[in-house]
Structure 1
Amino acid sequence: MASEINIEKKLKHLDFIQLVITRMNVNSFLIKGWSVTLIAALFAFAAKESDKNFIVITYISTFAFWMLDGYYLSQERQYRSLYDKVRNLKEDEIDFDMNAKAFNRGRNSWFKSLFAEIFLYFYGALMIIILAVLIAVKR
């Protein structure tokens, strides 16, 4: 009976961690959607107002979204590491600790997360598109 309770504790703790991982993943997805939406809106304002400053603002906003998205990926990676740690714990060692800061190093750090391959493709492509529009507007 006691081992069943301990196994339930472990599964519940893993569920809690998985919920945080899912929330970070959803936040990252929403950030990407908002960045594309904002860029499209700023391009529309730039075309309507014939003002190149809107295009420059897109660079700033894209950079800000990239930084925020890197933060969410870093948090997700840290909680994945916490998940792995808890998964390997014995059932009687479960303490429901949700602090993942101990895993904020190496690949899980914010700086390393900024340069994840997916971000280089996604935000790099956005930066190239913004540059192309800026060049096209200057002509």
Structure 2
Amino acid sequence: MTFADMASYTSDEVKHMEFIQAVVTRLGNGSFLIKGWTMTVSGVFFGILVNNLSWKLAATGIIPILGFWLLDSYYLRQERLFRALYDEVRVRAAGVAPFSMNVGPYLARVPWGRVVGSRTMVNFYGVLGAVDVAFTVGAVIAAA
């Protein structure tokens, strides 16, 4: 949105959009931190598995990956919901109350399945899960 576009909004509308954008920014930062923790925890598991190949430990490694995947998906869904709210405020939709932060009306627009299976989630967490599965299969084969 350009400065000229902002001139057509009231100060309350601009402040409302700024509040929503602040929430979106915090959610994005939270998602970034979750990905960092995922890499750290997965790296620890993979590092241990390189030196001590155990199918039980490898199978356990998938639990934090799935947990972080779901948590990050929650953050991404919330971010998308607030972006939908921002768009409604931006186009001055009739149903949005001043300074409303209610994303309830947009829940149907952003289903969980689409978020969990989104390209960014699958590419990041799917690769880590595939590596963990490879360690698990390798450990089972080595134990046989």
**TM-score relative to the length of structure 2:** 0.81
TM-align CA RMSD:
2.1
Alpha-carbon contact 1:46-1:53 (below 8 Å) kept:
no
- Secondary structure of 1:105's aligned partner: helix
Secondary structure of 1:30 counterpart: helix
User: Higher helix fraction: Structure 1 or Structure 2?
Assistant: 1
Alignment of 1:41-120 (within 5 A): 41-47=44-50, 50-89=53-92, 95-106=98-109, 108-120=110-122
Conserved? CA contact 1:66–1:123, under 8 Å: yes
User: How far off its partner does 1:29 sit?
Assistant: 1.3
| Runs (4+) off by over 6 Å | none
Partner amino acid, structure 1, of 2:134: A
Count the aligned residue pairs.
132
Contact 1:14 1:87 in 2 (8 A): yes
**Partner SS, residue 61 of structure 2:** helix
TM-score by length of 1: 0.84
